[in-house]
Amino acid sequence: MVVTTFDPSKTSSRAEGVASPQPAPDNVDFDIFDADFVRDPFPTFADLRARCPVAHTDNWGGQWMPTRYDDIEAIARDADHFSSVTVSVTGPKPGEGPLFIGPPVTLDPPLHGPVRRLLLPAFGPKVVERLLPITQDIARDLVRAIADRGGDKADAAVDYAQHLPVRVICGLIGIPVEEEARFTDWVVRILKIGATQPEVLSTAARELREYFAEQIDQHRSDPSPPDDLITYLVNAEVDGEPVERKHMIGILYVLLMAGIDTTWSSLGSSLWHLATHPEDRERLVAEPELVPTAVEELLRLYAPATMARIVTEDVEVDGRQLCPGERVLLPFPAANRDPAYFDRPEEPVIDRAVNRHATFGLGVHRCLGSNLARMELQVGIEEWLKAFPSFRLDDDAEVLWTGGQVRGPSSVPLILER
């Protein structure tokens, strides 16, 4: 299995003097790590969409940011001009330093297909079904621990949302749940701190790869329990060949990065929403059958993931000329608020009938774990509301948000009204 089709020798850059045919209007610069943007990016998305729908900044090594659904979808579906060789929103571009290799997300067609097909059974309905009671138990343990602690305060992110997906992924992959704290630490150092501090990222990434290498060797010598993902990969074949160890490590690494922070951010944003929109919370408590459609709406409103692509050939998007080697963001949260695509996009409608949001991506890389994530969110909200039907933000404490590749609240301090 080869891991990249991208040819860095083809790259050029805007610094070499390639002009855009349509100059950007003034004052449209953006910084995806700016504290105001991280807290609430939606006014910026709306402003850019109206004034400069394909904006460019020199921040973070240069980034293009389309904000219309159609442009984001066209780029996500066009692997000929936009490579996934790196999907990070910051960090080295091809030719600038080592790139994170994580199949299938960093593979372009035709190499992407076989790895995706290899993983499809690992995320099928049977797996989600197997993980449902496990997820319910995890959620119930977490709310019980909060209730047993007594008092009227809890942090929906720190005490709840940040634990559930890590424990579920441990069950999926085949790692003891006692490893939760180590996994969380790796995710935070790689995705949060590592986004702006590359040396933190590379140390944590090395540790995680070494850990997975050990786990693979252990599962090889003792292939039980039989239904976890590491055992599945150890026994799987691609084109009649066993999966190489380094590729298994890459796949496991991606699953951890893709499946934890995204889901805990979505769950944290959902509970933040219910704390700040009592009418939606009360309706869900009274009509729990609405939880699945509410989950879709909360996923649309607070899509956590922004991915990136690297331009491989000169290409025009909405009148702007993009050059080989440049980085383009795919801000799915912006696509989800496009009024050309959604009726009343800024408004929460928890029983929205048509909701073709882009939260799980668009095109060949569309999220493999979307059904698992939906199940986790439904269970996470149901069990929370059963235990704590009434709650609001604690005005004496601050809601904290983190952003970049994955946006969500890192702290949602609440008053539980019993």
Q: Which residues fall within 8 angstroms of residue 35, CB to CB, at 6 or more apart? A: none
Cα separation of 356 and 296, whole Å? 9
How far apart are CB 6 and ligand HEM at their closest, in Å?
A: 14
Residue 123 C-beta: closest distance to ligand HEM, Å: 7
What is the b/e burial string over 258-273, where b = at least 16 CB atoms within 10 angstroms of the residue's CB? Answer: bbbbbbbbbbbbbbbb
By beta-carbon proximity to ligand HEM, the closer residue of 216 and 372 is 372
- Between residues 54 and 258, which has the closer beta carbon with respect to ligand HEM? 258
- Between 69 and 415, whose beta carbon lies closer to ligand HEM? 69
Q: In the complex, which residue's CB is closest to ligand HEM?
A: 369
Tell me whether residue 100 or residue 360 sits nearer to ligand HEM (CB atom): 360
CB of 368 to ligand HEM, least distance (A): 4
**Residues 83 and 112: beta-carbon distance below 8 Å:** no
Kindly tell me which of 154 and 164 has the beta carbon lying closer to ligand HEM: 164
Determine the residue type at 298: L
Beta carbons of 160 and 168 less than 8 angstroms apart: no
Tokens (6 digits) for 104: 């299938």
> Which residues are within 8 A (CB) of 348 and not within 5 positions of it... i.e. 6 or more apart?
273, 277, 280, 297, 298, 301
Q: Which is nearer to ligand HEM, 28 or 364 (CB)?
A: 364
Cβ-proximal residues to 149 (8 Å cutoff; 6+ apart), any chain: none
* Nearest to ligand HEM of 103, 324 (CB atom): 103
Identify which of residues 104 and 194 has a Cβ nearer to ligand HEM in the complex.
104
* Smallest distance, ligand HEM to C-beta of residue 183, A: 12
Give least dist CB 334 to ligand HEM, A. 13
**CB of 250 vs ligand HEM, minimal distance in Å:** 11
Amino acid code (one letter) for 293: T
Min CB(369)–ligand HEM separation in Å: 2
Which of these, 400, 390, 131, 109, lies nearest to 275 by C-alpha position? Answer: 390
Q: How far apart are the first and last CA of the chain?
A: 56
3-state SS of 95-148 is CCCCCCCCCCCCCCCCCHHHHHHHHHHHHCHHHHHHHHHHHHHHHHHHHHHHHH
Angle separating helix axes 261-276 and 245-259, nearest 10 degrees: 10
Between 90 and 359, name the residue whose CB sits nearer to ligand HEM.
359
Query: What residues make contact with ligand HEM under the rule CB under 6 A?
Result: 76, 84, 87, 104-105, 116, 169, 254-255, 258-259, 262-263, 266, 304-305, 307, 332, 359-361, 365, 367-369, 372-373
Least distance between ligand HEM and beta carbon 221 (Å): 25
What number of other Cβ atoms are within 10 A of residue 374's Cβ?
A: 18
- Calculate the CA 66 to chain-centre distance: 18
| Nearest distance in Å: CB 408, ligand HEM | 9
What is the distance between the alpha carbons of residues 252 and 260, in angstroms, rounded to a whole number? Answer: 12
